[in-house]
Structure 1
Amino acid sequence: MDFKDYYKILGVEPTADDKAIKTAYRKLARKYHPDVSKERDAENKFKEANEAYEALSSPEKRAEYDELRKYGQHGRPFQGPPGWEGRAGGDFGQGGGDFSDFFSSIFGSAGRGTGNPFGRGQQRSAGRRGQDVEMELAIFLEETLANESKKISFRVPQYNGAGHRTGETTKTLNVKIPAGVTDGERIRLKGQGAPGVGGGANGDLYLIIRFAPHPLFDVEGHDLIITVPLAPWEAALGTKVAVPTLTGKIHLTIRPDSQSGQRLRVKGNGLVDKHGQRGDLFAQLKVVMPSHSDDTTRELWKALSEKAAFNPRSQWSS
């Protein structure tokens, strides 16, 4: 097992104070963070810097490391001081989390050791899980039918090895909208939240689905409702109407004597459910009067009223 010079990794002198160590770490973290760096081997360099800061940011751990450091033998396997056997009898093959075997041999696996080689009991806190991130994702109704990914960007908090927040970074993902999503549904993307601290697991990303308002359709579960305006004579005589759907137009037959408010069901033209089946489209009829009429038109309406002898409020009669 090779000795790790944490001061050299951070690029500071062994006499550096806490502020200099923190400044050096932040500079390296920004330079090599895997989400933003295009440097070769950035992830490993980021992990090394994180490990070095974890060891040197704590006065107790730094003192322990400094005592061991004087036995570091560059270019040869690290032997340690007389009587040194390492953690777990010198078995360094079970390093924990993102920390090296060297780190684990001093402070315990992933920094959670119950002791150290010099017999001074030291209790380490467990690695901390990263923060969950939640965002609303607006989608068009048409996107619920598409078998494509949607590109999203969101802000993720960043923390140093000591668990102190250092800022934020923008993360971009391509996500596939699952079939059957509903408005307000909460979708979990495991491990896509903030990174963990000290070997802890990443947090999760939660997407709250919001259907963008559609100019034509209302949503009821997995069914769609569209209002179909009709002229009075179309409702009376019947007609064929080209009705929009999410995937094109259909021709809907309106029977004679249709009523305003009546719903006509068009099977299989709604939204997709969890089983891949589509809901229905309901065409709700609405009789619409012309906004203006001339004297001739009004005379025709009067003649029609006399001929039809229809009282729409007849049910009110006692």
Structure 2
Amino acid sequence: MEFKNYYATLGVEKTATPDEIKRAYRKLARKYHPDVSKEPDAEARFKEVSEAYEALGDPERRAAYDEVGQRYQRGQEFRPPPGWDSGYEFSGGGGPGDGMDFSDFFESLFGRHAQGGRAHGAPHATGTDHHAKITIDLADAYRGARRSVSLQVPVTDAQGRVAWQERQLDVNIPQGVREGQHLRLAGQGAAGHGGGPAGDLYLEIAFRPHPHFRVDGRDVYLNLPIAPWEAALGATVTAPTPDGSVQLTVPPGSSSGRKLRLKGKGLPGNPAGDLYAVLGITVPAADSPEAKEAYAALARSFAHFNPRSTLEA
């Protein structure tokens, strides 16, 4: 993928102020507008200029673009850094790029719906809403928690230069919150313009991977190892849950893959989810003469047992 130098497209320096960027865009937009331009490549150039302004005319997008540009080496094929996430979803309406198809480069940085930032400087304009993602432990969703999160936010200085600045926020994690759910923090988005109110901050919840549990909606799954004799004869075993251990009855004759349901032990809610213990038979190692003899005796006792009988047909 080709790295696009949006500053060169608009013919401005990287230190250009927002007003200089806007003036450059308007001049080029008039020159290449398909309705009036006589240039043979007017439509393509107009799209390039509009895309460049979409990236540089919005302080947040410009800061994200500058951050990626610092890592790019000229002559290399461009790929977004591994795990690249600017930290924000850029959205709005009313910009010069409304209805325009953006390049793969633009979409790789800002997403398919990142167009039409709000007009800066409009009187009493509400600040832009910010969207970010935070990762929490599964136990936080079970019990609720208060967590301090660190976010990178764009700030603009008196000269119009934009940079990312770290911001700390204390966030209440409600009990029963689901993965993918958004928490709204009113007034924590971008500052308003001309005395207008600040936007809101929406935090998308993600769960930190757990070594034992996986989550599907409100249901939680646990792979529970059991011994062969516990599966054959039945047993009461201790099983962990994100909210503490429970005693679980394994029915006699259980096999690997059997699901035992613990009603209401999934994520809290109305109704609460369930927890499913998925049984997996774990075989002891034959690492001593006594263990080998025990396996040999078992083989003699089940001489007619064929675990692959279903495959022979």
Measured after TM superposition, the shift of residue 254 of structure 1 is: 1.6
Residues 307/168 of structure 1: CA separation in 2 closer, same or farther (3 Å cut): closer
1:310 is aligned, of 297, 305, 311, to 305
- How far apart, CA to CA, are the structure 2 residues paired with 1:163 and 1:146? 46
Q: Is the partner of 1:245 in helix, strand or coil? A: coil
Q: Could you tell me which amino acid in structure 1 is paired with residue 297 of structure 2? A: A
Deviations 1:67-90 (A, max 9, x none): xxxxxxxxxxxxxxxxxxxxxxxx
- How far apart, CA to CA, are the structure 2 residues paired with 1:163 and 1:129? 22
Q: Is the partner of 1:315 in helix, strand or coil? A: helix
What percent of counterpart residues are identical?
41
Residue 198 of structure 1 corresponds to 194
Residues 303/291 of structure 1: CA separation in 2 closer, same or farther (3 Å cut): closer
Check whether the contact 1:159–1:197 (CA below 8 A) recurs between aligned residues.
no
1:127 and 2:109 equivalent? Answer: no
1:290 and 2:287 equivalent? Answer: no
Q: Post-superposition, which runs of at least 4 consecutive aligned residues in structure 1 deviate over 6 A?
A: none
- How far apart, CA to CA, are the structure 2 residues paired with 1:165 and 1:282? 53
- How far apart, CA to CA, are the structure 2 residues paired with 1:226 and 1:311? 29
Residue 65 of structure 1 corresponds to none
2:275 is aligned, of 281, 284, 293, to 281
Residue 255 of structure 1 corresponds to 251
Residue 144 of structure 1 corresponds to 141
Q: Could you tell me which amino acid in structure 1 is paired with residue 250 of structure 2? A: I
Check whether the contact 2:140–2:175 (CA below 8 A) recurs between aligned residues.
no
Measured after TM superposition, the shift of residue 155 of structure 1 is: 3.8
Q: Is the partner of 1:151 in helix, strand or coil? A: strand
Q: Could you tell me which amino acid in structure 1 is paired with residue 292 of structure 2? A: R
Q: Is the partner of 2:180 in helix, strand or coil? A: coil
Alignment of 1:143-292 (within 5 A): 143-159=140-156, 164=160, 170-273=166-269, 275=270, 277-292=271-286
- How far apart, CA to CA, are the structure 2 residues paired with 1:247 and 1:287? 24
Residue 45 of structure 1 corresponds to none
- How far apart, CA to CA, are the structure 2 residues paired with 1:154 and 1:228? 37
1:299 is aligned, of 293, 303, 311, to 293
Residues 195/125 of structure 1: CA separation in 2 closer, same or farther (3 Å cut): closer
Residues 174/296 of structure 1: CA separation in 2 closer, same or farther (3 Å cut): closer
- How far apart, CA to CA, are the structure 2 residues paired with 1:278 and 1:259? 28
Structure 1: runs of 5 or more not aligned: 1-123
Residues 174/311 of structure 1: CA separation in 2 closer, same or farther (3 Å cut): same
Measured after TM superposition, the shift of residue 165 of structure 1 is: 5.0
Measured after TM superposition, the shift of residue 221 of structure 1 is: 1.3
- How far apart, CA to CA, are the structure 2 residues paired with 1:226 and 1:289? 19
Check whether the contact 2:147–2:171 (CA below 8 A) recurs between aligned residues.
yes
- How far apart, CA to CA, are the structure 2 residues paired with 1:293 and 1:241? 25
- How far apart, CA to CA, are the structure 1 residues paired with 2:272 and 2:127? 38
- How far apart, CA to CA, are the structure 2 residues paired with 1:197 and 1:167? 19
Aligned residues between the structures? 192
- How far apart, CA to CA, are the structure 1 residues paired with 2:244 and 2:227? 23
Residues 127/167 of structure 1: CA separation in 2 closer, same or farther (3 Å cut): farther
Structure 2: runs of 5 or more not aligned: 1-120
Measured after TM superposition, the shift of residue 163 of structure 1 is: 9.6
RMSD: 2.6
- How far apart, CA to CA, are the structure 1 residues paired with 2:272 and 2:129? 33
Q: Is the partner of 1:310 in helix, strand or coil? A: coil
Deviations 1:231-278 (A, max 9, x none): 2122122222111112211111222221111111111111123x3x32
